[in-house]
Amino acid sequence: MRLPALFLVFAVTAGLAAGQSTARWDYYGKTGPLGWGRLDPAYRLCSQGKEQSPIDIHGAKLNKSLQPIEFHYMAASAELENTGNTVVVHVKPGSYIVAGGVRYELQQLDFHHPGEEAVNGKLTDMDVHLTHKSPDGKLAVLAVRLSEERGDPNATLASLWQHLPTVAGKTEKDADMINPGGLLPGDRGYWTYTGSLTTPPCTEGVQWFVFEQPVSISRAQLQAFAALYRINSRPLQDRNGRRIEANE
């Protein structure tokens, strides 16, 4: 991407750290991922953390006790913000999931090109992260891998992209009734592990749920986002022996 000097600071991609620091960061050069940990003391986990995301998903262990995620998403209008390093969809309160017996409220959606989550070393064309927060402040992020391989357009994405803000700092309102569930795969099987936010401050203790089945998007949908963000994904991080579990 290298938008006209727009690919600058993004406070949090996988969620909710906007405004926590004024240190500028990027996906390139001295302020790119390899240097995030040196930009601000608040970002130290980006270089020193042992449970960082994203990671390559492989060698997952089946855990029959893992329950399906309960989805309680509702349709509502949304607001799309071009932060300068991604497009964030701000949703209205009310949508939530229940995972592991914990209720997490949906906070926002954001997109990455290419996808950040790898499966057996392979990345998809894009992904979308749905960030949720529990009443006691714990974060859970659902990662949906988006693939142009089949070329079928996604209806929810089509509605959102009609209001895609192309200038950093600009916000567009989508008056259509958007249900985040339209971005989820039909098969809700997932992998789960403990990781971090994928942008500064790289906060750890985030519960990740990565769906096994990718969601199809069209070439036009992919190109529309890639025209804004040629690259806005963090490189894969060391697994450091973490266990990855799969539900049935």
Cβ(70)–Cβ(158) below 8 Å: no
Q: Give the model's pLDDT for residue 12.
A: 39
- Cα 73 from chain centre: 17
Instruction: Report the run of H or E that residue 223 belongs to, with start and end.
Output: helix 219-226
Percentage above 70 pLDDT, the chain: 92
pLDDT for residue 1 is more than 60: no
Domain boundaries, the chain: 29-246
Averaged confidence pLDDT in the chain? 91
Q: pLDDT tens, 20-59?
A: 457 989 898 899 999 999 999 999 999 999 999 999 999 9
The pTM (predicted TM-score) of the whole model is 0.90
Q: pLDDT tens, 88-133?
A: 999 999 999 999 999 999 999 999 999 999 999 999 999 999 999 9
pLDDT for residue 4 is more than 90: no
Catalogue the E-assigned strands of 83-196. 87-91, 96-99, 102-112, 118-119, 122-123, 126-133, 139-147, 171-178, 190-196
- Mean pLDDT, residues 213-237: 97
pLDDT band at 196 (very low <50, low <70, confident <90, very high): very high
pLDDT for residue 11 is more than 80: no
Percentage above 90 pLDDT, the chain: 86
Number of CB atoms found within 10 A of residue 14's CB: 28
Residue 135: asked if its preceding bond is cis (omega within 30°), the reply is no
Q: Take residue 119 and report the two structure tokens written for it.
A: 């499966």
Q: Give the model's pLDDT for residue 140.
A: 98
CATH number for the domain running over 29-246: 3.10.200.10
Q: Give the model's pLDDT for residue 218.
A: 98
Q: Give the model's pLDDT for residue 230.
A: 95
Q: Give the model's pLDDT for residue 21.
A: 54
Cβ(200)–Cβ(23) below 8 Å: yes
Q: Tell me 183's DSSP state.
A: G
Q: Give the model's pLDDT for residue 14.
A: 41
Q: Give the model's pLDDT for residue 175.
A: 78
Cβ(234)–Cβ(33) below 8 Å: yes
17 versus 38: which is more confidently predicted? 38
- Cα 26 from chain centre: 16
